[in-house]
């Protein structure tokens, strides 16, 4: 009985610890999703899943990579369900504070729209590395742990992803 209570309190403690990474989770979700609201919903789903599954976590030392892995998988699943048809349906309302002129806001929106489109068009392996690194701000080692790949693979995939994005952005700008 006491063991059960202790286990539950340990799980709750661990959950609260994982809740500290909510902004990292949110950023990762933002990389995969169309807007901050969508990203927030995904973050909630991630923590709900973590809350339900926390009892299955064998080693609390791997709780953080486990959390990000859940976030990554959930976002990928979410993307499968909600395809790109309505990705840019809702325009970003979060206008940057420093962009005050209507022109700057317009160009920011356009660039962001293009970037997000390109990020989404990345191959899955490149995309997950790119988002975990650029949106999640996670170190290479952690990304390697989350994805179950070598650190060198993470670095090479990240480079290929950046190359892909730069190329695509140049193509779009050149077309414009």
Partner 1 sequence: MKNNNIEEKFNTIKKLIEEEKNEALRIFRMRNFNSRLHNLITREFENKSFSIFKLMKSFSSAVLLLFLFTAIILAVFIIPSFFKSKSEGNQMEKFFEQALFSQESRSEKPSILKNDVLEIKSEENIKENMSDSHKDLYISLIELFSNLGTFSERDYSKEKNSINDGYKKDFLPNLIFQVLKIVKEG
Residue 143, exposed/middle/buried by CB under 10 A (0-12, 13-18, 19+)?
buried
Closest by Cα among 113, 75, 118 to 92: 113
Q: Which stretch binds partner 1 (CB under 8 A): 42-50, 53-61, 120-128, 138-146?
A: 42-50
Residue with Cβ nearer partner 1 (1 or 97):
97
Residue 170 makes contact with partner 1 by CB under 8 A: yes
Residue 162 makes contact with partner 1 by CB under 8 A: yes
Q: Which of 18, 21, 26, 68 binds partner 1 (CB under 8 A)?
A: 26
Q: Which of 60, 76, 108, 120 binds partner 1 (CB under 8 A)?
A: 108
Q: Which of 30, 75, 138, 145 binds partner 1 (CB under 8 A)?
A: 30
Measured at the CA of 133, the angle between CA 96 and CA 95, to 5 degrees, comes to 10
């Amino acid at each position: 009985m006491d063991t059960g209570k202790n286990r539950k309190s340990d799980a709750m403690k661990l959950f609260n610890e994982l809740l500290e990474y909510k902004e990292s989770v949110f950023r990762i979700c933002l990389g995969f999703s169309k807007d901050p609201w969508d990203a927030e919903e995904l973050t909630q789903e991630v923590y709900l899943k973590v809350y339900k599954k926390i009892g299955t976590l064998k080693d609390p030392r791997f709780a953080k990579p486990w959390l990000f892995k859940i976030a990554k998988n959930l976002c990928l699943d979410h993307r499968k369900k909600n395809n790109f048809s309505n990705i840019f349906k809702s325009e970003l309302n979060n206008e940057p504070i420093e962009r005050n002129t209507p022109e700057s806001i317009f160009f920011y929106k356009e660039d962001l729209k293009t970037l997000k489109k390109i990020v989404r068009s990345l191959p899955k392996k490149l995309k997950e590395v790119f988002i975990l690194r650029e949106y999640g701000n996670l170190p290479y080692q952690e990304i390697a742990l989350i994805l179950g790949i070598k650190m060198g693979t993470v670095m090479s995939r990240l480079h290929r992803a950046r190359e892909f994005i730069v190329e695509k952005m140049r193509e779009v700008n050149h077309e414009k």
